[in-house]
Structure 1
Amino acid sequence: MEEKDESEQRVWSWGAGTEGQLGTKILQDENFPQLLHQPSLSSVSSLACGGAHVIALTSAGKVLSWGRGNSGQLGHGEVVSNALYPKAVTSLDGYVITHVAAGWSHSAFVSDPGCVFTCGDGSFGQLGHGDQASHYSPVKVSCFVDQHVAQVACGMRHSLVLLKGRCCYADCAGNQVYGFGSGKRGQLGVNDRIKSVNVPRVVSGFEGVEIIEIAANGDHSAAVSVDGHVYTWGRGFKGFEDAHVPQCLNSTLNFTKVALGWNHALAMSGEEEVYMLDQKRQPKCRTIRLHFREVNLEKVPGLDEMKITDIATGAEHSVIVTGKMQSCSQAKHGEIKTWGWGEHGQLGLGDTCDRISPATVSLDYDLNEAASIRVFCGSGFTFAITMP
């Protein structure tokens, strides 16, 4: 086996792999983390994981993709059943890509000038091109050609776009977030009970609020404001009432990141603590009423005195990166921990059992040697990037 350069980052994957999404060159699930020996991934800076496909963004702004491509979500210009190897999205070679996102069967890309490109399944209008057509190569979303897009997020059948800074038109102050695609469960946040829209529409309720991050998964949407508030909208967790406009968590905590699953969410605070938001459990915790639904906000147990440096969520599993506080130095990375649904090995614990509390994932690598560790989740699989 080829040796890995100690100065290079490492990319690991585990979980569901029968459609090539793990990048291991074989179509099978993996219960333990697998180190990927792919030279093309040596400079990957970020990943986006969808239903069964992965988009990789390199430090040079180039894009690769692999996994399920039956709807054109890989952006290779053709339908691909299972792409086993990372392959460059060559139609974007003329751009520097700064942000990528992956939904169930569609993908989105943001270029350096702030343009948005989408490809894959468009049957609900989630590509934003004014129709329900699917595209096998990334196509620029014309609605944003005169705007500067900062981020894009993809859910099951919908997409969100976050504009950078102020809108350049006088009549759209506060119109920072847009939604398109399926809106049946309120995930578009457009204050209208619509089944779907195929052109971007303004998400309601953010007048006077500066949004710095957006997230989407399943039929859920979320955003984080510059002052640390978390907003959620879309399908109510565990059968509770849907929210058709963003609802703010009435919390005194200052949040910096939110990650959505299909029936739960994680939120990371500025104190580097992580909280669970769901309606399945009824623990001893603070209950926050959000108009027509209640959300439990509970600190993840078993992490006392640990700092959390990253979070990610799949369909029904969660992943965090912990840091260990040391008295004479800055915090160092400690462990990757997972819990939740484990049927496909997505917890990386060597089996297919579910876990109700965080358990440590063993990598053949000393995480204390890493300058940074990032984790990413698809519906039933997990990736980690470690940088020496």
Structure 2
Amino acid sequence: FCRVMRALLGAARRAASAAACSAANIASKPTGKRLFGATAVVGAAAFSSVYAFDSAARPDFSLSGAKVMTWGQGGSGQLGFGESTINWLAPRGAEGVDQEDIVHIAAGWKHTAVLTKEGEVWTFGCGQYGRLGHGDQADQLTPRLVFGLDGVKVTSIACGGYHTAAVSDKGELYVWGRGWDGELGSGTTKSADEPQLVSGLKGKKVVQVSCGDSFTLALTDSGELYSFGTGYEGQLGHGSKTNELAPKKVEGFGGEKVTKIATGKEHCLAVTESGSLFSWGADDYGQLGVGKRARYMREPTEVRKLKVRSCKADSLSQLAYIKRQAKKHDNSKKASQYFNTCIHAHRNA
């Protein structure tokens, strides 16, 4: 899986509670071994600041002068170096988009998408199932513009395992790639090698999209959440394991509007207007954060009584920023062992 970060070459201010990296913390030797503790990244000493995110996150400000840095597995060209590098152990600049104003990056299974300030989408890596959106299934070793979005100004992108999604400034949702489980929302299980509009959301204004392995979530400006694709682990949130080939509204938030969403491989997170955090889907490793491990949860379930402002998820775990917590929870290991693996909290005094 391609790990992508962006190095901001210009000065960029970030809230102290969200700061995670700085140039002073970056120093280590390249290694292909697994690391189980916090380890600084080598080869990035020139970073003036770093902003990291995945397909589930979207920056809330525009940043210019950015350079895309990639590393990890690159056998299909997903690192954007212009070659099929099996593994690259340290950050290196991707070719072709270095001088663009990059505002968003997303990574899927062996493919990468980049969004520019002008609203253009560039993709590279594995082209199987048409996930790059270039009208074919060829691998792309360097970033290439997705011409199927010509005339469309994209504001947000996301990558699933084998598909890609983009939201336009008009609130339209475009998807492409593998569609075997309905993750393209077209009403069929056909794949698409070029961007296609999700007609099932006509009349809705999509403001955020997030993709899991083989499913998609779409959040509208009215706070409604829609899901489609594979539902085997309950990741669609409809109370069943049935696949949905077209967008279907997710219920179960107590009548509240949803404000933020995030997806892992087979699980989901949603934050409501009151700051409540909900999770559903696979829970093999306790990634739902509900205090006990379950095989799965097929409907949105509130994660304790937290006040959350944003959330993020990866394949197995998830991260939430706490805005306010009314009272302290039991700090015993038994009560918090799964909770602590999922939540990163900044508690108010």
The corresponding residue for 2:49 is 43
Separation in structure 1 between the aligned mates of residue 325 and residue 112 of structure 2, nearest angstrom: 38
Query: Identity rate of aligned residues, in percent?
Result: 26
CA distance in 2, matches of 1:163, 1:124: 23
Deviation at 1:295, TM superposition (A): 3.6
| Equivalent position of 1:61 in the other structure | 66
Task: Give the TM-score normalised by the residue count of structure 1.
Answer: 0.68
CA deviations 1:92-137 (Å, max 9, x no partner) are 1231111111001100011111111100000110000010100010
Q: Find out whether 1:317 has 2:317 as its counterpart.
A: yes
* Structure 2 counterpart of 1:277: 280
Q: Do structure 1's residue 120 and structure 2's residue 119 form an aligned pair?
A: no
What's the CA shift for 1:324? 4.2
One of 211, 223, 244 as aligned partner of 2:206: 211
1:164 maps to which residue?
169
Task: Look up the SS of the partner of 1:150 in the other structure.
Answer: strand
8 Å Cα contact 2:131-2:176 kept in structure 1: yes
1:238-274 deviation per Cα after TM superposition (whole angstroms, max 9, x unaligned): 2711101111113412111111123221111122221
Higher relative strand content: 1
Match of 2:242?
Answer: 241
Provide structure 2 residue ranges, at least 5 long, that are not aligned to the other structure.
1-12, 23-27, 57-61, 235-240, 291-296
Question: Contact between 1:11 and 1:41, CA under 8 Å: does it hold in 2?
Answer: no
**Counterparts of 2:207 and 2:55 in 1: how far apart (Å)?**
21
8 Å CA contact 1:66–1:83 kept in 2: the answer is yes
* Aligned residue identity for 1:230: L
Task: Specify which structure has the bigger relative contact order, considering alpha-carbon pairs within 8 angstroms and separated by 6 or more residues.
Answer: 1
Q: Please give the per-residue CA displacement for 1:170-213, whole angstroms capped at 9, x wherever unaligned.
A: xxxxxx1111110000000011231x211111113111111100
**In structure 2, C-alpha distance between the alignment counterparts of 1:230 and 1:361, rounded to whole Å:** 22
Counterpart residue number, 2:177:
181
Could you tell me whether the CA contact under 8 Å between 1:45 and 1:58 is conserved in 2?
Answer: no
Number of aligned residue pairs: give it.
Answer: 297
Q: Which amino acid aligns with 1:27?
A: G
Amino acid at match of 1:200: P
Distance 1:212 1:49 in 2: 14
Say which of 350, 357, 360 aligns to 2:338. Answer: 357
Say if 2:77 is the partner of 1:76.
no
Cα 1:129/1:177, change in 2 over 3 Å: same
Between the aligned partners of 2:80 and 2:317, the Cα distance in structure 1 is: 27
TM-score norm. by structure 2 comes to 0.75
CA displacement, residues 318-338 of structure 1 (integer Å, 9 cap, x when unaligned): 2223244599xxxxxx9xxxx
Which moved further from structure 2: 73-82 or 177-186?
73-82
Distance in 2 between the 1:264 and 1:236 partners? 10
After superposition, give the CA deviation of every residue in 1:123-165 in whole Å (9 maximum; x if it has no partner).
1100000101000100001111221111111111111111112
Q: CA deviation at 1:33?
A: 2.4
- Cα separation, partners in 2 of 1:77 and 1:237, compared to 1, 3 Å: same
For the residue of structure 2 that corresponds to 1:359, the secondary structure is helix
- CA deviation map 1:17-62 (0-9, x unaligned): xxxxxx9722222222234463244422333379xxxxxx976332
CA distance in 2: counterparts of 1:263 and 1:300, whole angstroms: 17
What is the CA-CA distance between 1:91 and the residue it aligns to?
1.1
SS at match of 2:148: helix
With over 3 angstroms needed to count, the CA separation of the structure-2 counterparts of 1:142 and 1:228, relative to structure 1, is same
